[in-house]
Amino acid sequence: MDQKEEHGGSLRADAARNRERVLEVARAQLSAGDDSLQLNAIARLAGVGVGTVYRHFPNRHALLEALMSERFQRLVEDARVAAADVDPARGLQALLRSTLGLISTDAGFAAVLESADHAGGSTAAMKADLDQVVTRLLDRAGEAGVIRTDVDADDIRRLLCGVQHAVRSGGNDPRQADLYLDVLLGGLRPRH
């Protein structure tokens, strides 16, 4: 290997380390309850230049997408498990509970899920996967007569984001989360 290749390899490793350091700082901010994710402040806290941050993450949403990719993948997997349940009502209830659990403990993920209408890149692809699986589950539940048939995957996402907001504004009380989720499930039942 010549000196140039060796130097090029170390730059790639440096870039990867810098990217990971930016993600670590952003994760720490979210964990501390600061979801502003100001890229200039993150660069300073990570000890990298502002240009480095913007090369990896052109905007706040791109940074959130990178942070939340793993969580989104988990949600898609939870939806697949729920859709495979022989009892669509039980599958839907399990999915709603697991989703509320994920978004209630992670403000950043809630923000990404809430803004999924305006998603780009990887979030748009993961949202499409999620919508497809949730639609399959909702169709089965509707055919079984356990939920209304006029509710779609986007409605479920928006309703859960609303429940999460209500729970968070009430101090994250688990009893409120259970109550609000029960109210949501009751509202999803078919009208007679």
Is there a single domain that holds both residue 68 and residue 15? no
Concatenate the DSSP letters of all residues of the chain into one string: --HHHHHHHHHHHHHHHHHHHHHHHHHHHHHTT-----HHHHHHHHTS-HHHHHHH-SSHHHHHHHHHHHHHHHHHHHHHHHHH-SSHHHHHHHHHHHHHHHHHS-HHHHHHHHTGGG--HHHHHHHHHHHHHHHHHHHHHHHTTSS-SS--HHHHHHHHHHHHHHHHHTT--HHHHHHHHHHHHHHHSPP-
Is there a single domain that holds both residue 79 and residue 120? yes
Is there a single domain that holds both residue 35 and residue 69? no
Instruction: Count up the domains in the chain and report the number.
Output: 2
Q: Looking at 20, 37, 57, which one is the last position of a domain?
A: 57
Is there a single domain that holds both residue 137 and residue 75? yes
Q: Give me the pLDDT at residue 116, please.
A: 61
Q: Give me the pLDDT at residue 2, please.
A: 39
Over residues 74-101, the pLDDT tens digits come to 899 999 999 999 999 999 999 999 999 8
- Between residues 104 and 95, which one has the greater pLDDT? 95
Over residues 123-154, the pLDDT tens digits come to 778 888 999 999 999 999 999 999 999 999 99
